[in-house]
Amino acid sequence: MVTPAPQPPSTTAVEPMLDVQDLTVRYGSHVALQGCTLQVQQNEIFGIIGPANAGKTSFLRSLNRMHDFVPGMRITGTVRFAGRDVEQVRNVYALRRRIGVVFPLPVGLPLSIYDNVALAPRLRGLRNKVALDEIVERCLRRAALWDEVKDRLRNLGSLLSGGQQQRLTIARALSQDPDLLLLDEFSIAVDPVTTMRIEEVLKELRQEMTIVLVTNLVQQARRLATRTAFFLSGRCVEIAPTEELFTGEVKDQRTRDYVEGRYG
C-alpha cells in the first residue's frame, strides 16, 4: 500500500516559490510547451509526470534561464521565482545558484569527487577547509554516496560508475544551498535501492527547499509529491493533490489512463 506524501509545513508567505503564467516554449517553429500556468508553493515537492515529448524538460529549462544556452529556444509568458520575473534578473549566475538542477544523466566535471562538491561553495568565496570538508561530507551523505567514496575523495569523479556519478551530481546541486531544486528523472541511472535512499533524503530536504520533480515513474511521484501535474503533448492537462490524482475523480480521462498505465 502506498503511503500518501506528507503535506508541506504551513507557511505565512504570500508569494509562491514559482508562479508560471501562460508559458509557451518553442524550438524554432516547433512548439514544445503551450500555455502552461501553474504555481509551486514554498517547501513543496511538486511532481510532473507524462510521456516522452510532453514538454516536461522544456518546462524545467525555462525556470532558471537555461534556455539562454539552447539555440533556437524561445519562451513567452511569465516565470516568477520568489516573486521576481526571471527574465528581468540581471545576475543570471546568482539566479542559478538559487536554483539547483539535476539532469537525467550525470553531467560530470573534470574534477575530483571532493572538488565537484566544493566548487559552488568556493565560487561563493568560501575558503575555510574545515567548513568545506563539512559541506562536502553533508552533501555526499544526502546524496547517499558518502560511504562509497569517503576514502577516495581525491579521485576523479568521472571514474565513478554511472549511478555514482548521478549521485555526485545531486551532491553538487545541494552544495549550492538552493532554494529550489529541479530534478529531471534523477533516478534513470540509479539502482532501485539507492533510488529509495535518495527519496528519503528528498522528503527531509522539503523542510529546507522547494523541489520540482520530473519523473517517468508515476509511483515515485505518488510517494514523494504533494501535488502532481500531468503533461501531455506539450500541455499541462491537469494538476491535483497527488493522492487525489491516483485515487480520486480526475478531470481528464487521459490522466486516469496514464497513471493506470494504459499508455505512455
Return d(Cα 232, Cα 254) in angstroms, integer: 9
Q: What is the pLDDT of residues 130-187, one digit of tens each?
A: 999 999 999 999 888 999 999 999 999 989 988 888 889 999 999 989 999 999 998 8
Q: What is the average per-residue pLDDT within 67-76?
A: 88
98, pLDDT greater than 50: yes
Q: Helix (H, G, I), strand (E, B), or coil: what is residue 184?
A: strand
Task: Check if the beta carbon of residue 163 is closer than 8 Å to that of residue 194.
Answer: yes
The pLDDT of residue 124 is 87
Residue 127's pLDDT band (boundaries 50, 70, 90)? very high
The pLDDT of residue 71 is 87
Kindly report the average pLDDT of the chain as a whole number.
89
Top-ranked range on mean pLDDT: pick from 83-97, 100-114, 228-242? 228-242
Sign of CA dihedral 166, 171, 175, 179: positive
- Burial class of residue 256 in the structure, from the number of CB atoms within 10 Å of its CB (0-12 exposed, 13-18 middle, 19+ buried): middle
Task: Check if the beta carbon of residue 257 is closer than 8 Å to that of residue 237.
Answer: no
Classify strands 45-49 and 210-214 as parallel, antiparallel or unpaired: parallel
Residue 160 — φ and ψ, nearest 5°?
-75, 160
Chain centre distance of CA 209? 11
**Which domains are present in the chain?**
18-259 (3.40.50.300)
Q: Helix (H, G, I), strand (E, B), or coil: what is residue 185?
A: coil
Q: What is the average per-residue pLDDT within 15-37?
A: 95
Q: What is the average per-residue pLDDT within 246-254?
A: 85
Chain centre distance of CA 69? 19
4, pLDDT greater than 60: no
Residue 11's pLDDT band (boundaries 50, 70, 90)? very low
- Helix H segments across 20-68? 56-61
Quick one: which H or E segment has residue 255?
A: helix 253-259
Residue 108's pLDDT band (boundaries 50, 70, 90)? low
The pLDDT of residue 115 is 96
More confident residue, 40 or 10: 40
Can you read off the three cell numbers belonging to residue 51?
Answer: 510521456
pTM for this one?
0.87
The pLDDT of residue 109 is 75
The pLDDT of residue 121 is 93
